[in-house]
Structure formats: C-alpha cells, structure tokens
C-alpha cells in the first residue's frame, strides 16, 4: 500500500484470482453478477444445475484454487465479501439497474434499495435450492448479505428483513451458512 492509494496490496495469488493475470476485470464481482442474474430468474425458472455450474466453475478456477491454497479461505472469503459490496454499491448508481420501463423511468432510491434486497433474497433462495452450499461455497449466503448490508447501511438490515419475509428457501440458505 502506498501513501496515495488506500487500496491494500493483495497477495499475488489472491490478486490473480480476483483480477486476473492481466488485471482485465474483477472476477469476484463478475461471479456475484452471474449469481444475482441467475437468482432473478429463479422464481420463474429454477435451474439448480446452472447455479451449481456457476459455483463449480468459479471454485475450480486455477487462480481461485491457488489463492485458497496459498492465503486460505478467510482471505478469499473477505475478498468475496468486498466484491459483493462493490457489486451492490454499483447498483445504487448504475443507470441500467436503476431504471425501469425500457429505461424511461428511474427507480426511486427507496424502491431501488428494496429491489436490491429482493434480488439478494432471490439469490439466497436459489443458492439454498441448488444443493451447492457445501465445502468452500457454504459461506456464500453470508458473504452476499454482508456485501448488501455494507452497501445499504444504515437501514440495510431492515430492508433485507422485509425482503426475507415469506421466503423460507432464502431463510434455509442463511441457516446453512450459520451452521458452517
């Protein structure tokens, strides 16, 4: 870390897992994006196999495996949590995410926050229903919700609780994580 840049310097293996050898994108944010997009479709078209495929492909990636082996699960999970926070923070300002009706109407800030919480709950339900919350992936629900809560502070917990009401599948995913 230098004096001008507050970004911590990551271990080279963790850096390669997150950003790629060429630093051509944030792979961890991309992982969350893939899961949340799949989660949006979950209520209409549940596809546990596709969810597991996304998770398996991520966790089997050579750079991710090397990062787990080198720096350990806690360090990788912390980067996943931070990436979830980056994803949700970007949703607050992304015009594509924050618009509706063929991009003609901007969603009001409170409704946008509710949408983010609902997307999270749908993703939790999908993760719980996938059968893939085992091994290294067992903490994904907690990492996802922590990222959301970081982005929606200080009222994020209330918004998430409202979205969780009446969604037992999402609650089960949270219970799997808590038991790990």
Q: Is residue 6 part of a domain?
A: no
Is residue 116 domain-resident?
yes
Burial class (CB in 10 A: 0-12, 13-18, 19+), 79: buried
Take residue 50 and report the two structure tokens written for it: 């596709």
Residue 105 lies in a domain: yes
Within-domain flag for 136: yes
**CA separation for the pair 168, 124 (Å, rounded):** 10
The answer to whether residue 170 is domain-embedded is yes
Q: What is the pLDDT along the chain (180 residues), one digit of tens a residue?
A: 445 655 678 999 999 999 999 999 999 999 999 999 999 998 888 899 999 999 999 999 999 999 999 999 999 999 999 999 999 999 998 888 888 766 678 889 999 999 999 999 999 999 999 999 999 999 999 999 999 999 999 999 999 999 999 899 999 999 988 876
108, part of any domain? yes
For 155, phi then psi, to 5°, come to -100, 10
Cβ-contact 127, 80 below 8 angstroms = no
Give SS3 for 34.
Answer: helix
Cβ count within 10 A of residue 18: 24
Domain that holds residue 93: 12-178
Residue 103 and residue 98: Cα distance in Å, rounded? 9
**pLDDT tens figures, 1-20:** 445 655 678 999 999 999 99
Structural domain tally of the chain? 1
Q: How many CB atoms lie within 10 A of CB 117?
A: 24
In a domain, 1, yes or no: no
């Amino acid at each position: 870390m230098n004096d001008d840049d507050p970004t911590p310097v990551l271990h080279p293996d963790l850096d390669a897992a997150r950003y790629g050898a060429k630093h051509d994108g944030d792979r961890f944010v991309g992982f969350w994006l893939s899961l949340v997009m799949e989660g949006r479709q979950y209520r209409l078209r549940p596809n546990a196999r596709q969810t597991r495929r996304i998770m398996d492909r991520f966790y089997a990636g050579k750079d991710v495996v090397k990062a787990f082996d080198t720096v350990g699960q806690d360090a990788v999970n912390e980067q996943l949590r931070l990436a979830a926070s980056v994803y949700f923070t970007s949703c607050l300002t992304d015009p594509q995410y924050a618009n509706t009706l063929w991009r003609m109407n901007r969603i009001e800030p409170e409704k946008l926050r509710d949408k983010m919480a609902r997307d999270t709950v749908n993703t939790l339900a999908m993760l719980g229903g996938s059968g893939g919350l085992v091994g290294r992936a067992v903490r994904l629900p907690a990492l996802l919700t922590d990222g959301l809560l970081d982005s929606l502070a200080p009222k994020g917990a209330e918004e998430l609780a409202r979205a969780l009401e009446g969604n037992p599948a999402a609650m089960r995913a949270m219970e799997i994580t808590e038991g790990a």
